[in-house]
């Protein structure tokens, strides 16, 4: 779940700027500390050190930088050219948001806020998706466990499921895990 209040305070975060040393990079280096961030830079010739401990990444969207997919931090694209070829490449990198060059102080604060909000939302959606996919995979197990309980206890579907849920709660486990246990531990006796 995303936190109820969005991140609007960036003090103490560390930004890496992967961009050539020009007026835009220097402007970012000057403006980010006002918002409480520390800044490191990386020339385009080399990828960032794998050990780099940054909390967000600014990268030059005008070069085909070898961005690693699914980086664990929000990525902000520094966009000069808006041609379709560049945008196609850029969209494939899935940045959290973009900042249009030339870099000005206006817009930077909003860009940071959106980058973190978008990134958090994406993480949260991915977590939800994984949870739901697991649930979906285990649905067959739950279904068979309910059928088993209905047969054994001569109860209806609702009661069987309620029993399953209660037991799972008492044993502090999930319905899915308990279902798997029931099916594994008590093999079917009827042919």
The answer to the question of residue 2 lying near another protein (CB under 8 A) is: no
Between 55 and 181, name the residue whose CB sits nearer to another protein.
Answer: 55
Considering only residues 7, 20, 29, 35, which one is a binding residue for another protein as defined by CB under 8 A?
Answer: 35
Cβ neighbours of residue 18 closer than 8 Å, sequence gap 6 or more:
41, 42, 44, 48, 57, 58, 59, 60, 65
Q: What's the closest the beta carbon of residue 26 comes to another protein, in angstroms?
A: 12
Distance CA 110, CA 99 (A): 10
Q: What's the closest the beta carbon of residue 105 comes to another protein, in angstroms?
A: 5
Between 30 and 131, name the residue whose CB sits nearer to another protein.
Answer: 30
Quick check: 96 and 114 in contact, CB under 8 A?
Answer: yes
Q: What's the closest the beta carbon of residue 34 comes to another protein, in angstroms?
A: 5
- Tokens in use for 186? 């008590």
Q: Is the peptide bond before 114 cis (omega within 30 degrees of 0)?
A: no
Unique residue bearing structure tokens 């490191």: 40
Q: What's the closest the beta carbon of residue 23 comes to another protein, in angstroms?
A: 11
Identify each DSSP E strand in the chain by its residue range.
14-18, 38-42, 56-60, 75-79, 97-100
Q: Binding pattern to another protein, positions 93-122, x when CB under 8 A?
A: -----------xxx--x-------------
The answer to the question of residue 140 lying near another protein (CB under 8 A) is: no
The answer to the question of residue 18 lying near another protein (CB under 8 A) is: no
Q: Which residues of the shown chain bind another protein in the complex (CB under 8 A)?
A: 9-11, 30-31, 33-36, 104-106, 109
């Amino acid at each position: 779940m995303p936190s109820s209040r969005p991140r609007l305070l960036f003090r103490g975060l560390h930004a890496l700027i992967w961009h050539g040393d020009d007026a835009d990079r220097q402007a970012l280096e000057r403006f980010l500390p006002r918002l409480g961030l520390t800044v490191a830079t990386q020339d385009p010739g080399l990828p960032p050190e794998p050990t780099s401990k940054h909390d967000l990444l600014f990268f030059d969207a005008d070069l085909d930088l070898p961005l690693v997919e699914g980086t664990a931090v929000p990525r902000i694209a520094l966009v000069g050219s808006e041609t379709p070829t560049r945008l196609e490449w850029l969209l494939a990198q899935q940045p959290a948001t973009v900042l249009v060059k030339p870099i000005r102080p206006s817009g930077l604060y909003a860009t940071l806020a959106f980058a973190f909000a978008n990134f958090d939302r994406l993480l949260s959606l991915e977590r939800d998706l994984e949870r739901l996919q697991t649930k979906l995979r285990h649905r067959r197990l739950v279904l068979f466990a309910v059928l088993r309980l209905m047969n054994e206890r001569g109860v209806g579907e609702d009661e069987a499921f309620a029993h399953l849920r209660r037991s799972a709660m008492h044993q502090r486990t999930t319905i899915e895990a308990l279902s798997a246990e029931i099916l594994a531990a008590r093999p079917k006796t009827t042919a």
